Structure formats: structure tokens, C-alpha cells
Structure 1
Amino acid sequence: MFRRRTIIIPARYGSTRFPGKPLVLLNGKASILHTIDVARKVGDIDGVYVATDDDRISAAVEGYGCTALLTSASCRNGTERVAEAANILGLHDDDLVVNLQGDAPLTPPNFIGKIFDLLDERPEADAATPVIRCGAENYLRIGEDIRNGRIGATMSVFDSQGRALYFSKALLPHGSSVETLVELPVYHHVGLYGYRVRCLKAFPYLPVGPLERAERLEQLRFLENGHGVHIVEVDDDGQEFWELNNPGDVPYLERALPSGKPSRSDTD
């Protein structure tokens, strides 16, 4: 069966922790444009779109040769925004969508391909997301953010069949340390989600539970309503993954990203 493979990048201007971050310059180029570059490197896809409610973001995206979809300001999170965009595009229930977070320009393109592949290979999986096993440097940076009151990386724990048990802004599991990482792995969740469209369309109508409200993590809505989320362990190939969560992340991302101003592309 033919299934469309679509990447939708949700981006809003009014982030509580970091307003305007899709347009924050990283080496002279808006961060959302770096994320579009990531999506364009993924093979075997049918389209890349940015879903936003902000005209400034839309203008930057369209000027870069990528299609912007104007979505409602009432969307409560990126998944709801991606669901609305899927409806605008007229995607079918069995089509596949990856939600590539607009604040994750260091996402390796092969992570996205692995999410699409899992959904293709496992028809029982309606939602999937990747994790990276933490090394010492990544683990220490996450711990430093927590100690300093910065809300940053998300952690994940999952069962022996690769199904998510929980996601948290706290370090999981309890009792882990740099010294125990070999026998007690710690997994950094990558803010990247794949869905079968029927699952994605149902998401906005699921009740918001207390865990989602407390953690401010939308993927917990699936778990709190009895829906499985499949985990894909991925390898960062030596490039430490990090997101643009706080202004203090800008220098790190600028060191890791290529320099250069945006240039128009007509590939979308």
C-alpha cells in the first residue's frame, strides 16, 4: 500500500520559555531555516511543511522556498498544530507524518528516516519517537540545567518491547549517575515524533491528563489515555544532540551548526 511520507515542522513565535526562538539567528540564519535544511536531507519523502500561526515565521519560511501552513493560534502544542496541518493537506488515515520540532536544528536526518521505517515495518505502531543513550557529557549537561532551574532536555524510560513507560523533565531513572551509565542506561528523548495519520487526527480530542499538565509534555497524552508510543533507539554518530530550549543554548548550537545566510530553494 502506498503511504505518503510527510514532514511537518510546528513553529510558534510565542514560546513561554523563549519567545521568538524560530527566528533567533544561529550563525546569521533563522533557527527554523536550519531545521528545514534537516528535513530536506531526508530521502523518500513527499513533502516538507512548516505549520505556524505567525506571519513573521510564515514569511521567513516562504522566502526560503518552503511551504508554510497557517494554523490556529488555539493549538495547545506542536502535535495539535501538526494534526491541523495534516487536515489542511488532506492526508489519509494510513499516511505517515513526522513532527520535526522547529527548535531541533541538530536533528540528524537519519533519525527521521528510522521513524518512518518503524511505522512502515510495524503496522501495530501508531506513534513512535527516538531516544539517544546518554554519554557522560550529555548527562552532566542535563543535570546542570536541572540544578539551575532551566527546563531543557526530556528523559524517557521504556519496556523490553520498546514501548514508552514515561517521559519526564526530571533525570530518569532515579539513582543514575555518570558512574552507573553502563549498567543503568539513561535515555535522552529526541523531540521528534512519527504518527500514522489516524492516530494524529485523534490526538486533539484526547483528554489532557495531570501528567501532561505537570510535565508540559504532550506525548504523555497518549500514555495517559492508554495509547502506546514505540521507542526507537538511535545513534548520534558522535554529534551530541541538543535543542534550542533556552537562550543559553545559542552558543552551543552555533558551534555545532554550519554558518551561512539563508538562500532560496525550490525543492519543496
Structure 2
Amino acid sequence: MYRKRAIIIPARYGSTRFPGKPLVALNGKAAILHTIDAARKVGGVDGVYVATDDERISAAVEEYGNKALLTSASCRNGTERVAEAASILGLDDEDLVVNLQGDAPLTPPEFAVKIFAFLGEHAEADVVTPVIKCSAESYLRIADDIREHRIGATTSVFDARNRALYFSKALLPYGSSAETLTELPVYHHVGLYGYRVRCLKGFRELPVGPLERAEKLEQLRFLENGRAMYVLEAENDGREFWELNNPDDVAHLERALPTGKPS
């Protein structure tokens, strides 16, 4: 049976952490457009869509030649927005969706390729998300964000079957350091999720637990409600990966992204 494969990029203007960040210029081009560029490099996809509740974002995306889907302003996070977009598109239960975060333009396209492949090969998996091992440099950058009370990267721990145990804005596991990463690796969660559409249905109605409220991490809703989320360890071949979480991240992303204004 053929399964449609779609990439949906959730983008919200009114972020409490960094308002307007999808339209923040990175080397003369809006961040959301850089993310679209990354999504367009993924082969075998039936469509790339931006799901937003903001006319400014929608206009910028459409002007760039990409499809925007207007979703409800009541969506509380990207997964709820992706779920609504999948419904608008009329996707079937067994179709596959990758949620590519609009604030993660440095996401390697092959991560999405691997997610689609994993879902295709593992019928038991409804949700999968990638992680990469922290380098000493990225570990220290996360630690610096925590020390300066900035909302930064997310780390993850998982079991021997690669099922997620927890995600946190803290450095996991406790006791790790930049000097102990070989013996005690720290995994940086990449803001990318793959779902079977059936898993998205009803997500909004699942109870929001205390862990999701405390960490402000939507993926914890799956874990707090007993749903299995698989973690896929990915290799980034030494390339830099960082998300646009704070204004301080702009300069760092600009060093890693190509220059040029939107076409």
C-alpha cells in the first residue's frame, strides 16, 4: 500500500520565547525560508507545507513559492498544528508526516529521509525523533545557555530498545561534563518528529501533564500518556546543528547558513 509522505513545518509568529522568529532575517533571508530550503532537499516527498496561524508568515511562504496552510490560533504547539494541517490535507491514518521545526533551518535533510525510512520499516512505531551526540563544543554551549537562564537546546535519554525515557531543557544525564562525553554521552534532541497520521489524531485531546507544563516540551505529552516514542540516533558528519531559540542564536546560525535574499 502506498503511503503519502509529507513534510509539515509548523510556524507561529507569537512565540513566547522569541516573538516573530520565523521571519527573523538570517543572512538577508527569513528563517522560515531557510527551513523550507532544507525540506525541499528531501527526496521522495509528496509535498512540503508550512502550517501557520499568521498571515505575515503565510504571505512570505506563498511569495517564496511554497504552500502555506492556515491553522487555528488555538494550537498550543507544533504537533497540534501539524495534526490540524494533516486533517486539512485529508491524509490517511497510515500516511507518514515529518514535522520539521520552523526554527531549525540547520536540520540536515537526510535526518528526514531516515525518519521516513524508519517508519516504513517499523510498523510498531507511531512516533520517532532523532538525536545526535553532543560534541564538547555543543555541550558547553548548552551549559552556557542554562547558566545564563536562556531557553536553549533539549537533551534526551532513551532505553536499550531506543524508546525515549525523557526529554529536558536540562543537561541529561546528571553527572555528565564536556570531559566525560566518551564514557557518558549526552544526546542533543533534534527538533524533528516523524508520525503515522493515526498517532496525530486525538493528540490535542490527550491530557497535558505536569512534565510537559514544566519543560514546555510537547513530546512529553506522548510519554506522560504512555505512548511509545522511538529515538533514532543520527550522524551529522561534523556539521553544525543549532536551533533559533533566542536572539543570541542569530549570529551563530548566520555563520552556518548560506547568504542571499529570498528569490
TM-score by length of 1: 0.98
Provide Cα deviations, 1:208-258, integer angstroms capped at 9, x if missing partner: 100000000000000000000000001111112100000000001001000
Which structure 2 residues correspond to residues 41-80 of structure 1 after superposition, within 5 A? 41-80=41-80
Query: In structure 2, the residue corresponding to 1:180 is in which secondary structure?
Result: coil
Which structure 2 residues correspond to residues 92-171 of structure 1 after superposition, within 5 A? 92-171=92-171
Provide Cα deviations, 1:76-124, integer angstroms capped at 9, x if missing partner: 0000000000000000000000000000000000001111111000000
Residue 13 of structure 1 corresponds to which residue in structure 2? 13
Cα offset, 1:17, TM superposition: 1.2
Corresponding letter in the other structure for 1:224: E
Write the distance in 2 (CA, Å) between the matches of 1:136 and 1:169.
Answer: 17
Corresponding letter in the other structure for 1:104: A
Query: In structure 2, the residue corresponding to 1:250 is in which secondary structure?
Result: helix
Provide Cα deviations, 1:54-95, integer angstroms capped at 9, x if missing partner: 000000000000000000000000000000000000000000
Corresponding letter in the other structure for 1:98: V
Residue 180 of structure 1 corresponds to which residue in structure 2? 180
Write the distance in 2 (CA, Å) between the matches of 1:119 and 1:107.
Answer: 19
Name the Cα RMSD after superposition: 0.5
Residue 222 of structure 1 corresponds to which residue in structure 2? 222
Write the distance in 2 (CA, Å) between the matches of 1:177 and 1:214.
Answer: 24
Query: In structure 2, the residue corresponding to 1:7 is in which secondary structure?
Result: strand
Residue 266 of structure 1 corresponds to which residue in structure 2? none
Write the distance in 1 (CA, Å) between the matches of 2:217 and 2:130.
Answer: 15
Q: Which runs of 5+ in 2 are unaligned?
A: none
Query: In structure 2, the residue corresponding to 1:253 is in which secondary structure?
Result: helix
Q: Provide runs of 4+ in structure 1 moved above 4 Å.
A: none
Corresponding letter in the other structure for 1:127: V
Corresponding letter in the other structure for 2:250: V
Which structure 2 residues correspond to residues 196-215 of structure 1 after superposition, within 5 A? 196-215=196-215
Corresponding letter in the other structure for 2:168: S
Write the distance in 1 (CA, Å) between the matches of 2:139 and 2:29.
Answer: 29
Residue 84 of structure 2 corresponds to which residue in structure 1? 84
Write the distance in 2 (CA, Å) between the matches of 1:194 and 1:205.
Answer: 19
Write the distance in 2 (CA, Å) between the matches of 1:254 and 1:151.
Answer: 19
Aligned length: 263
Corresponding letter in the other structure for 1:19: P
Corresponding letter in the other structure for 1:135: S
Write the distance in 2 (CA, Å) between the matches of 1:144 and 1:152.
Answer: 9
Cα offset, 1:206, TM superposition: 0.7
Write the distance in 2 (CA, Å) between the matches of 1:16 and 1:236.
Answer: 29
Query: In structure 1, the residue corresponding to 2:87 is in which secondary structure?
Result: helix
Which structure 2 residues correspond to residues 242-261 of structure 1 after superposition, within 5 A? 242-261=242-261
Residue 238 of structure 2 corresponds to which residue in structure 1? 238
Query: In structure 2, the residue corresponding to 1:242 is in which secondary structure?
Result: coil
Corresponding letter in the other structure for 1:65: G
Residue 4 of structure 2 corresponds to which residue in structure 1? 4
1:30 aligns with 2:30: yes
Cα offset, 1:19, TM superposition: 0.4
Query: In structure 1, the residue corresponding to 2:165 is in which secondary structure?
Result: strand
Query: In structure 1, the residue corresponding to 2:179 is in which secondary structure?
Result: helix
Write the distance in 1 (CA, Å) between the matches of 2:142 and 2:154.
Answer: 9
Cα offset, 1:202, TM superposition: 2.2
Corresponding letter in the other structure for 1:123: A
Write the distance in 2 (CA, Å) between the matches of 1:116 and 1:228.
Answer: 17
Corresponding letter in the other structure for 1:59: A
Percent identical:
78
